[in-house]
Amino acid sequence: MSDFLERHIGPNREEQMEMLAVVGATSTEDLLKKVVPETILSASKLSLPPAQDEVEALAELRAIANKNQIFKSFIGQGYVGTVTPGVILRNILENPAWYTAYTPYQPEISQGRLEALINYQTMICDLTGMDIANSSLLDEGTAAAEAMTLAQRQAKSQSNVIIVAGDCHPQTIEVVKQRAEPMGIVVKVGFAPKLMEENEYFAVLAQYP
């Protein structure tokens, strides 16, 4: 136990004084005055509460957190509350094997990420009956923009028009428009069934749910 304390608790008072003597300081306060410029060194002492152990600190933090008032969120537009099944929470999100075994740039974690993405895309294709699905994106807007470019490259239609349902989230519509402009794609927003009757198009973007 003594070895553990020496490694992890830090230097004792006697060791601190030896270290200060080496650099020519009489105390930690004296060391700070010599190292930190006066223009940024606080003239007043810190008003800190008494030291607490881990249990006491956690109890105080919980008491502070319990003062929060949880209100129902009406933000909408793609940002909705979700319920994570316990089995996923325990075995994936709270499983340290997923995020401590490898550094992010190692190929092993990349392989695991790719496997999760292909499994998700396969499931979405099965549920929707569609030929393809995309999943490796940060949010709905960029996913819609990528789907648009993918659809244009694969579509048999020579049209450069994409129809976007007017009830799509506004941030999604804006991202699609920004991505479409330099590519020469015409974005038509409105009531999708009517626009589909009036135009040649290579893709339709609809909002669900």
Confidence of residue 109 (pLDDT cuts 50, 70, 90): low
Residue 130 CA, distance from chain mean position: 28
* Cβ–Cβ < 8 Å for 125, 133: yes
Percent of the residues in the chain that have a pLDDT greater than 70, as a whole number: 89
Place of tokens 């994570």: 84
In whole angstroms, give the CA distance from residue 2 to residue 9: 10
Lowest mean pLDDT among 48-52, 63-67, 131-135: 131-135
Q: Can you give the pLDDT at residue 6?
A: 67
Six token digits for residue 137: 């994106």
Query: pLDDT digits over 10-52, tens only?
Result: 788 888 999 999 999 999 989 998 999 988 888 888 888 898 9
What pLDDT sits at residue 11? Answer: 82
Return the percentage of the chain with pLDDT > 90, whole number.
50
**For 71-91, how does the pLDDT look when each residue is reduced to its tens digit (9 = 90+)?**
876 677 777 777 889 888 888
What pLDDT was estimated at residue 91? 84
> CA dihedral in degrees (163, 189, 141, 184; nearest 10)?
60
**The three-state (H, E, C) secondary structure of the chain, written as one string:** CHHHHHHHCCCCHHHHHHHHHHCCCCCHHHHHHHHCCCCCCCCCCCCCCCCCCHHHHHHHHHHHHCCCCCCCCCCECCECCCCCCHHHHHHHHCCHHHCCCCCCCCHHHHHHHHHHHHHHHHHHHHHHCCCCCCCCCCCHHHHHHHHHHHHHHHCCCCCCEEEEECCCCHHHHHHHHHHHHHHCCEEEEECHHHHHHHCCCCEEECCCC
